């Protein structure tokens, strides 16, 4: 069996991918920004390896169905939207409503519908300018919140979605990893003199995993050729399980950066991100985008190089230090939710070392 890139997929890897998709399926995931889905238009989206058609009816209501037309397999995402809000197949003009049922077959005079003329439909909702979808019949939890926007104290700036050839859980862990700030990001906010610190424990409260990191950052808007003086700050992380993060303080006082790492597939991610700024705060769009691009850029290279590509939620297949406590807590929380460990990690050489390494055991159980 081969994957989309020609790589051979072992039975163990195939089982892992199926189990991983199943574990992510009952959650809400972002599939688009609201402003990118115009009235009366359809577009293709991909989530958890499934090709879908998303459209907005003339009344503004969204629909989401399997992209394949049950008639001849044409992509419904290439179709149009009728006045009554149905998605019209571009090949034979069959019309499908938001439930996935066929509403009209022109070749039958529009009065008869064939049994089986239906395509799977999925739940789709909008919140805070983002389009969320869930592929399970019953989501296990609601859409993650952005309390600052619900309170009306902040406004939301959204960046362009970013595509990573990596697993979304690896991307989340990278976003919450504080140890690489002073190594990988010294050309932006990283302080090369601050490579050690006291570990901060992560606390779990329901769906939320919280972690605070006090760090003397550099000003990313200043050139690295200039003499830069670090300033004290705090990064307040809240991982909203399984793949949403709110980060307070990273973009200035009162700011809350928001990311949702959407699983296009097991090893493909579309990152939706933005920042909630306090009312009255203004920013330079181009300058802010440039800074975040310079931060995300090196992260992409690192995360796409990680092996195994899947996040080892088994904990013991990689080594950990005290500053990795947030990562360890995140992995354990995912394992509790039923996220499987990647097949490659089961036979990792690190397992033999860590089971007899008391320092390592001390750290992962601290």
pLDDT digits (tens, 9 = 90+) for 228-261: 787 777 889 999 999 999 999 888 899 999 999 9
Choose between 183 and 125: higher pLDDT. Answer: 125
Residue 353 has pLDDT above 50, yes or no: no
Catalogue all structural domains in the chain, each as residue range(s) with its CATH number: 28-134 (2.102.10.10), 147-305 (3.90.380.10)
Residue 348 has pLDDT above 70, yes or no: no
CA 122 to chain centroid = 19
Specify the range with the lowest mean pLDDT, choosing from 43-57, 160-174, 209-223, 274-288. Answer: 209-223
Close Cβ partners of 197 (under 8 Å, ≥ 6 residues apart) = 213, 214, 215, 323
Q: What's the pLDDT tens digit per position in 303-331? A: 999 999 999 999 888 998 888 888 999 99
- Supply the pLDDT for residue 345: 60
Mean pLDDT of the 41-61 span = 98
Specify the range with the lowest mean pLDDT, choosing from 7-11, 43-47, 117-121. Answer: 7-11
Q: For residue 104, give both structure tokens.
A: 């009209």
- Supply the pLDDT for residue 196: 67
Q: What is the mean pLDDT of the chain?
A: 88
Distance CA 312, CA 39 (A): 42
180 pLDDT band, cuts 50/70/90, is: confident
Mean pLDDT of the 10-37 span = 97
Distance CA 89, CA 271 (A): 30
Phi, psi dihedrals of residue 337, rounded to the nearest 5°: -80, 0
- Supply the pLDDT for residue 169: 98
Helical ranges in the chain per DSSP H: 11-24, 147-151, 168-175, 181-184, 285-305, 325-336, 343-346, 349-354, 358-364
Choose between 10 and 216: higher pLDDT. Answer: 10
Let me know: does 49 contact 266? Beta carbons within 8 Å.
yes
The top-scoring range by mean pLDDT among 31-45, 96-110, 144-158, 173-187 is 31-45
Provide the Cα torsion 289, 293, 296, 300; round to 10°. Answer: 140
- Supply the pLDDT for residue 214: 82
**β pairing state of 29-33 and 130-134:** antiparallel
């Amino acid at each position: 069996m081969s994957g989309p890139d020609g790589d051979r997929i072992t039975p163990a890897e195939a089982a892992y991918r199926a189990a991983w998709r199943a574990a992510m399926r009952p959650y809400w995931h972002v599939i688009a920004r609201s402003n990118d889905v115009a009235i009366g238009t359809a577009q293709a989206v991909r989530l958890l390896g499934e090709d879908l058609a998303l459209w907005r009816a003339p009344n503004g209501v969204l629909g989401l169905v399997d992209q394949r037309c049950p008639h001849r397999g044409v992509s419904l995402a290439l179709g149009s939207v009728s006045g009554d809000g149905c998605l019209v197949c571009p090949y034979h003009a069959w019309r499908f409503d938001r439930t996935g049922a066929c509403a009209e077959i022109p070749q039958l005079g529009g009065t008869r519908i064939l049994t089986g003329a239906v395509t799977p439909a999925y739940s789709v909702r909008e919140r805070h300018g983002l389009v969320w979808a869930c592929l399970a019949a019953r989501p296990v939890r609601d859409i993650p919140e952005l309390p600052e926007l619900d309170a009306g104290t902040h406004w939301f700036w959204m960046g362009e979605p970013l595509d990573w050839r990596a697993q979304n859980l690896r991307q989340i862990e990278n976003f919450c990893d504080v140890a690489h700030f002073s190594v990988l990001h010294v050309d932006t906010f990283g302080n090369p003199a601050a490579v050690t610190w006291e570990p901060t424990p992560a606390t779990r409260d329901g769906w939320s995993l919280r972690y605070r990191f006090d760090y003397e950052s550099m000003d990313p808007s200043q050139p690295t050729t200039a003499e830069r003086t670090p300033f004290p700050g705090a990064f307040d992380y809240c991982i909203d399980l399984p793949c949403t993060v709110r980060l307070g303080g990273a973009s200035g006082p009162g700011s809350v950066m928001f990311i949702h790492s959407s699983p296009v597939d097991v090893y493909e991610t579309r990152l939706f991100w933005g920042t909630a700024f306090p009312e009255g705060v203004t920013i330079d769009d181009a300058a802010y985008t440039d800074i975040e691009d310079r931060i995300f850029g090196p992260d992409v290279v690192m995360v796409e190089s990680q092996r195994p590509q899947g996040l080892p939620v088994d904990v013991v297949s990689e080594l950990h230090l005290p500053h990795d406590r947030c990562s360890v807590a995140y992995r354990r929380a995912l394992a509790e939710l039923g996220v499987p460990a990647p097949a490659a990690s089961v036979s990792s050489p690190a397992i033999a070392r860590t089971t007899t390494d008391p320092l390592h055991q001390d750290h992962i159980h601290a």
